[in-house]
Copies of this chain bind each other. A is one copy, B any other.
Amino acid sequence: MISKSQVKDIRSLSSVKGRQEQHRYLVEGDKLSREWLHQGKNICHVLATSSWLREQEALLQQHPETLIHEVTPDELARVSTQKTPHDALLVVALPDFQYALPQHEWCIALDRLQDPGNLGSILRIADWFGIGHVVCSPGCANFFNPKVIAAGMGAHLRVALHETSLEAFLAQCQMPVFAAALQGTPISQFPKQKAATLLIGNESTGIYPALLQRATHKVHIPGGGGAESLNAAVSAGILVAALFGGIR
């Protein structure tokens, strides 16, 4: 059973404003809730059905500080941001810790990336390949948007997330910067990199010209078909696989 004011508080976590005011964010669904309980800290509330709570009893005992609420599927549907029904939902404190910006380590930097699904998929790419840092410019989708959490599939627990001016980041960056640009050099002409930043731009307008000038290399993925471009997350995946991953 949850109160009306609790419903209101949880629902407001789908907006940036609500998350800033409460300094909390949402994690939704069985799989992600279990992953956060396994690896995460600062879990304020668990809202879940009685059967889910029973199944996860041992896991929940590791979080004595967490408030646990047994709710009905209808109550969960009322606070969830998703269409399909869930067994569980967490309210988690936003992390306070600011990581140092990477200087010599592989990193993906995003210039005003708008789509939460793309941002989540790119965090998942970093997490898959073991890239430790993702840097977002102001104007990107928010790391703690529920759709980013869903598409990230747990990447938030393992990848250091930075939001800062990309000019400032690139100024202190001591590694090659590869910018994805339609007029770039084919990616096959570059060897695998020990440390580099991959810079991906806005879905419609690409990378801001002043930033693009600061890239040490402009790269593109040779196509040959009729499309004007690839999806931003797909491009990021192919470029990371070529410059960092084991596809060659």
**A124 and B230 in contact (CB under 8 A), knowing A225-B130, A246-B188, A246-B222?**
yes
B154 touches A230 (CB 8 A): no
Stretch at the interface among A59-67, A89-97, A135-143, A237-245: A237-245
Q: How many copies does the complex hold?
A: 2
B residues in contact with A213, CB < 8 Å:
none
Binding site for B on A (CB under 8 A): 117, 121, 124-131, 151, 153-155, 157-158, 186-188, 221-231, 233-238, 241-242, 245-248
Q: How far is the CA of A238 from the CA of B235 in the complex (A)?
A: 9
Other contacts beyond A155-B227, A222-B247: 14, CB < 8 A: A124-B227, A128-B229, A153-B228, A153-B229, A158-B226, A188-B247, A221-B241, A221-B246, A233-B233, A233-B234, A234-B236, A237-B238, A242-B247, A242-B248
Nearest to A240 among chain B residues (CB) is B238
CB distance from A120 to the nearest CB of B (A): 8
6 smallest CB-CB distances across A and B, nearest first, come from A130-B225, A222-B246, A234-B237, A127-B227, A128-B227, A248-B248
Q: How far is the CA of A247 from the CA of B188 in the complex (A)?
A: 4
Give 11 A-B contacts (CB < 8 Å), ordered by A residue.
Answer: A121-B234, A125-B230, A128-B229, A128-B230, A130-B224, A130-B226, A153-B227, A153-B228, A230-B237, A233-B233, A234-B234
Q: How far is the CA of A231 from the CA of B124 in the complex (A)?
A: 8
B residues in contact with A247, CB < 8 Å:
186-188, 221-222, 238, 241-242, 247-248
